[in-house]
Amino acid sequence: MNPSRAAALALGAALAGCVGVPVDELLASTAIVAELPIEGGQSVEAARFSAGRAGEVPPGWSRFIVSPFARKSDYALVDGGPGVVLEGRADASASGFYRRIHIDPARYPVIEWRWRVLQTPADIDPRVPARDDSPARVIVAFHGDVTRLDLGERFTLRLYHALTGERMPYAIIMYSWASDAPVGTVTPSISTGKIQTIVVESGGFGEWRELRRNVREDYRLAFGEEPWDIVAVGVMTDASNTREKARAQYGDISFRPEP
């Protein structure tokens, strides 16, 4: 049998198997809010890379697949001067690195992190699909009201599950570095409006940069509704569309109440 036809038949069979699955069971976020206790304290340390050791994998963190057809980016703890940080490397590749966590964005709306871009594809811009790469992204995933998902978004959930065997959350904000898009640019993924990129920086190449955002305000801006609980935090170093190379380092990530 022709390999392309075999792949198409396999995908069709997988999609058929997903048809009877309730939409809320296709959301990764449904299980997370049910299984994980909600975080408390004065702040939430979502990523403590500095507490790890170079060469190790941070406990509780794992890779997530962007596309089954894309090569996978690499992530490892390294000595980043000063301290241990997470380094992401992409070579014509795209995959993320994340941990499940349960946070109330009404209580902890402010996210703080630092990163350093060390290598980037040229002329990257999330508004242009062929240039939609980034050496540095910080990702925040949310649960939400499944009744608000339209038919296209429901199909995207089923397709992603059929292709990868994994589940998507209800919505994702990607805080991104981009060389050719103005800071403040908000743009949806070509695949689904439930993934929105917000450009937070376009300069500072080679420098450690500290960033702060209000995820509650950004969610309202990106999706036009109130956010439900945060269910995952991650990073992504991506160069799959440009077929070039990217490299960035990420420091600790925390959530705090509004000042």
**For position 67, what pLDDT does the model report?**
82
Instruction: Note whether residue 10 is domain-resident.
Output: no
Instruction: Note whether residue 51 is domain-resident.
Output: yes
Q: Mean of the per-residue pLDDT values for the chain? A: 90
Mean pLDDT in residue range 144-163: 90
Instruction: Note whether residue 18 is domain-resident.
Output: no
Instruction: Note whether residue 5 is domain-resident.
Output: no
How do the residues of the chain divide into helix, strand and coil, expressed in percent and rounded to 5?
Answer: 25, 40, 40
**For position 69, what pLDDT does the model report?**
83
Instruction: Note whether residue 59 is domain-resident.
Output: yes
**pLDDT tens string 67-123:** 888 899 999 999 987 899 999 999 999 999 999 999 999 999 999 999 999 999 999
Range with top average pLDDT, 6-10, 36-40, 155-159: 36-40
49 lies in which domain range?
23-256
**pLDDT tens string 184-232:** 999 999 989 999 999 999 988 999 999 999 999 999 999 999 999 999 9
Instruction: Note whether residue 15 is domain-resident.
Output: no
Assign residue 52 the CATH number of its domain: 2.60.120.260
CB 255 within 8 A of CB 44: yes
Instruction: Note whether residue 99 is domain-resident.
Output: yes
CA–CA distance, 204 with 207 (Å, rounded to integer): 5
Helix (H), strand (E) at residue 237:
strand 230-238
How many separate domains does the chain show?
A: 1
Instruction: Note whether residue 7 is domain-resident.
Output: no
Q: Which DSSP string corresponds to 3-14?
A: HHHHHHHHHHHH
In the numeric block, the tokens 């949310």 are attached to: 142
Mean pLDDT in residue range 42-61: 96
